[in-house]
């Protein structure tokens, strides 16, 4: 959440302005629909903390029908990777926090890369390994201290296999590593985090890897719905907020959050590391005290975000560098702990029907066999069978999972 953020609001638009905005919205809609036919440049988080999700083979069919070209995992599930062989989809794979400390051992890191990455290349386009997720959000000092050595060991394993330049090594951070984020130009990391972030930035610079950040404007709205304008967090027309130092105007909170991270990195001497959004999303449902968790707002947030991505927009600070975003998440995950919102970030329900309408169109292939029969087979063989059936024209009657404007 953006600490201390105080977004401004604008006066209601005049009739001529409303007409311009309507025409602009129609143009943007056409751009998104045209882009979806050519392949979307967004990434999507494929979480699996659920007991009712479709098989990876069916998920592969769904994502390819939408022409989604980038997927982020929180592990390196061999069933998922096998289901996407030779599809051209890029993958971010992950090492969980519970395994980070073990990766400090170079032999363990080498073994992990050999087992979870090397066998799938080049058929699976693994382009990044995340070592841990939001490590600095917790209180585990040993984990924090082990993060960078683990990243270095994994990177050295990647280099030893000749994969440098093909597979990046990084980690994903929560926005609460920020001590200050308003105005964006005054962005600064928490003092207690700088001890870890400074050498980590040095590593990312050397390895030419991105700085990943999980940004959720929803959290800011949820915490103070009376003060945070919905228009500002949902990318809707508003007067925006002008940074008093740079005079740059921000019409949405996400871009302000990104630029505050750039400012924080610059304060530590780095302008050579790119910021990428490893997670952002909006829940379609929440507990009674979770303001704004509705399908309507979720659809507006994701839909407007997709339009800006397809316009290849950059932030006010870096207008020529299009934002790189992984949306959270593909499915609602019914076993996630925490408030109800945690289980309702998905674009889709597990049966393949859309949770809300954002203009994407996709199809979840039907189950060809009983669950028990499919479970008895490996994902790679199932993927091969489905591929063969497609070539023979034998997959028919797909279950539609429409996301239309």
Active site residues: 134, 279
Terminus-to-terminus CA distance in the chain, angstroms? 30
Burial of 214 (0-12, 13-18, 19+ CB in 10 A): buried
Spatial distance between the Cα atoms of 16 and 11, rounded to a whole number of angstroms: 14
For residue 179 the two structure tokens come to: 């001590």
- By the 8 A CB rule, do 220 and 181 touch? no
3-state secondary structure 299-318: HHHHHHHHHHHHCCCCCCCC
- By the 8 A CB rule, do 364 and 352 touch? yes
**What b/e string do you get for 8-31 counting C-beta neighbours within 10 Å, with b at 16 or more?**
eeeeeeeeeeeeeeeeeeeebeee
State the DSSP string of 199-268. Answer: HHHHHHHHHT-PEEEE--HHHHHHH-TTTS-HHHHTT-S---EE-TTT--EESSHHHHHHHHHHHHHHHT
Coil/strand/helix, residue 110: helix
């Amino acid at each position: 959440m953006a600490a201390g953020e105080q977004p401004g609001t604008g006066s209601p638009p005049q009739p001529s302005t409303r007409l311009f905005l309507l025409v602009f919205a129609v143009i943007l809609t056409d751009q998104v629909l045209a882009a979806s036919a050519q392949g979307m440049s967004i990434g999507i988080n494929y979480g699996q903390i659920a007991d009712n999700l479709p098989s990876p083979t069916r998920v592969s069919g769904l994502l390819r029908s939408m022409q989604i070209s980038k997927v982020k995992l929180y592990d390196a599930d061999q069933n998922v990777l096998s289901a996407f062989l030779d599809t051209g989809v890029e993958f971010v794979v992950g090492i969980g926090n519970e395994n980070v400390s073990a990766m400090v051992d170079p032999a363990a890191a080498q073994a992990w890369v050999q087992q979870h990455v090397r066998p799938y290349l080049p058929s699976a386009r693994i382009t990044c390994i995340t070592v841990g997720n939001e490590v600095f959000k917790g209180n585990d000092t040993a984990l924090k201290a082990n993060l960078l050595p683990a990243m270095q060991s994994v990177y050295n394993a990647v280099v030893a296999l000749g994969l440098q330049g093909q597979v990046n090594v990084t980690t994903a951070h929560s926005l609460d590593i920020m001590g200050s984020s308003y105005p964006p130009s005054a962005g600064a990391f928490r003092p207690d985090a700088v001890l870890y972030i400074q050498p980590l930035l040095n590593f990312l610079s050397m390895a030419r890897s991105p700085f990943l950040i999980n940004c959720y404007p929803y959290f800011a709205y949820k915490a103070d719905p009376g003060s945070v304008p919905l228009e500002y967090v949902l990318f809707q027309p508003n007067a925006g907020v002008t940074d008093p130092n740079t005079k740059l105007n921000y019409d949405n909170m996400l871009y302000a959050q990104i630029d505050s991270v750039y400012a924080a990195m610059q304060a530590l001497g780095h302008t050579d590391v790119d910021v990428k959004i490893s997670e952002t999303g909006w829940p379609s449902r929440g507990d009674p005290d979770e303001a704004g968790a509705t399908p309507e707002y979720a659809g507006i947030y994701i839909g407007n975000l997709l339009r800006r991505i397809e316009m290849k927009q950059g932030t006010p600070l870096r207008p020529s560098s299009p934002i790189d975003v992984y949306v959270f998440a593909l499915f609602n995950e019914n076993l996630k702990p925490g408030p109800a919102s945690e289980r309702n970030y998905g674009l889709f329900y597990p049966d393949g029907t859309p949770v809300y309408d954002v203009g994407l169109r996709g199809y979840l292939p039907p189950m060809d066999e009983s669950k028990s029969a499919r479970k008895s087979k490996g994902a790679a063989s199932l993927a091969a069978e489905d591929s063969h059936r497609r070539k023979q024209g034998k997959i028919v009657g797909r279950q539609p999972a429409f996301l239309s404007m």
